[in-house]
Structure 1
């Protein structure tokens, strides 16, 4: 069951990521980015639960006898999951084989309201995740990060412990507040999360260019077709 859910979430994340690349309007890009992060958080939470039930040993770090110089390029990351405790906001970044590189190749640049995660020379690629305008200030000295199997976890220490963050960044909260005000009559607790994604795509279709409309129409058709197929299977 969880494996099927993971595949569904990953498919939704990949599809929304493709739509984000096509989006030209800043507001549309921000909305998609917010949805991607929510789905990434769901995916990571399920993955972490699986690991707690069946813990796995990390693969040994591969060694190379002769280093070869190969030109690397940088990949900017957008998706991440997050969680929090009384003391920390935890940022989860999934990167395959992230646990295999030396610790000095993974580091963060922090300010009281921003973070940059750098992962250098992971399979000849550099990765960068930038998060600006955090919802609350952080304590730089007490913040840290860890490498786990196929994942980097950044522990952002709250400057005000025991304060619950509703979102990671300010703009996410603003979008959420605007959406709640606009759709406050909706029974959001009973609404299917898939329907929310479809609503977003309909709005994007109305404002997008021809290429985006073609992509969204295809996605909406396939999603509706899948729902009908699921009902037939039942």
Structure 2
């Protein structure tokens, strides 16, 4: 198409150069003007096709594996029955330069080119599960709000996942007493002086060969 336009323009310009009647010259000039506009449109279209356009998200994703990030040192959070909101204090965040990744048990948000630096806010394992497709980001002048949609309504005791201290160690499953001993150790670490004396006495009797029930001494004090 571009070649046809060029050929038409050359012929029209040649005719214009030899035309004598004012009306003919005017008609030729008008047609030349229209063809020149069409030619420019074709050239611009070809240029756009030749240069792939990357969205801000694609650009940020491509760079994320090559650049370093400063971990957001601190942030605050609160919750509702259905949502958790995390408040990150950052000024100069561009919405188009933010890359977020929400998973059922984690999230990772990267902020690019914030006053010359790149920041990252992530929780590798959340206290409870979330619904990734319903999570969102809100960028404000002085902070960013990360909204997590809870998979189940209810209160979170913490933002981060924590192992249950009373859960027996999987490594000690072969020993039927291992779970009880782990439980007693946690009770000893967190108990008052009377509890510690009772548990210490039970341990001492067990080591001396009396084979006493390690919980018997503690139970007698209840």
Name the TM-score class by shorter chain: 0.3 to 0.5
TM-score, L = length of structure 2: 0.43
The higher radius of gyration belongs to 2
Higher relative contact order (CA 8 A, sep 6+): 1
Instruction: Name the TM-score, length of structure 1 as normaliser.
Output: 0.41
